[in-house]
Amino acid sequence: MDIKRHVACKVGIKDLLEGRYVKEEGEFAPNYVLVKGLKIARANVIGVIVAAEDSTMLVIDDGSARISLRFFGDDQKRPAPLIGSLVMIIGRPRQFGEELYIVPEIIKTITNRDWMELRRTELKKSLPAPQTEIEEISERPKTADNFVGEVIQLIREGDTGDGADIQEIISKVDKGEDTIMRLLKAGEIFEIRPGKLKILE
């Protein structure tokens, strides 16, 4: 059975912890956290690693709150605990007892500390409207049929240091605006300032 992947929603840790955890019925029904009307089955969180416990847990802090990242089984290898590292986490919220935690799918170290400030600025805005349908998107742009690869290449070519011009990219790619929005939601790119895009690398 082909299971569609949920969009990883950017969210602050405090908002995630204050949301309501919902368990859906059915083998393939996703559990999620309800945050301000938005169902978050996959979360995109940026924070600093502040604690580590053997090979099963890391703790990250985004300035609003802390949350655990938990690793299970031999198939999930936790990276070396780099206390103080800034990381982007994409993973699935889960709850055991009263504790909400994240099971990571992606852990990416971020060297540019401006990312933390950018995320805080993004989260000051209201969360996006609830998703009406599940979107299918890969963790890395690999397909050409949704124009992702073309947009990524144009951003790389057009970025001379202060970002690539968003309108120029939209004018060159079919469904350019839709593709850019998908990449922004997935955390693959970010708007360094109004109208200018950069790739998270």
Strand runs labelled E in the chain: 8-10, 20-22, 32-35, 38-40, 42-53, 57-61, 66-70, 86-96, 99-109, 164-165, 189-193, 196-199
Q: What is the pLDDT of residues 142-157, one digit of tens each?
A: 444 457 888 888 888 8
Exposure of 98 by Cβ count < 10 A (0-12 exposed, 13-18 middle, 19+ buried)?
A: exposed
Tell me the per-residue pLDDT of 147-186, one tens digit each, with 9 for 90 and over.
788 888 888 888 888 888 888 888 888 888 888 888 877 7
Is residue 71 within 8 A of residue 57, CB to CB? The reply is yes
pLDDT at 115 over 60: yes
Q: What are the chain's domains?
A: 8-124 (2.40.50.140), 148-199 (no CATH)
Give the angle subtended at the CA of 122 by the CAs of 117 and 126, to the nearest 5°. Answer: 145
For β-strands 8-10 and 42-53, DSSP reports them as: parallel
pLDDT beyond 90 at 93? yes
Cβ–Cβ < 8 Å for 180, 146? no
Global confidence as pTM? 0.60
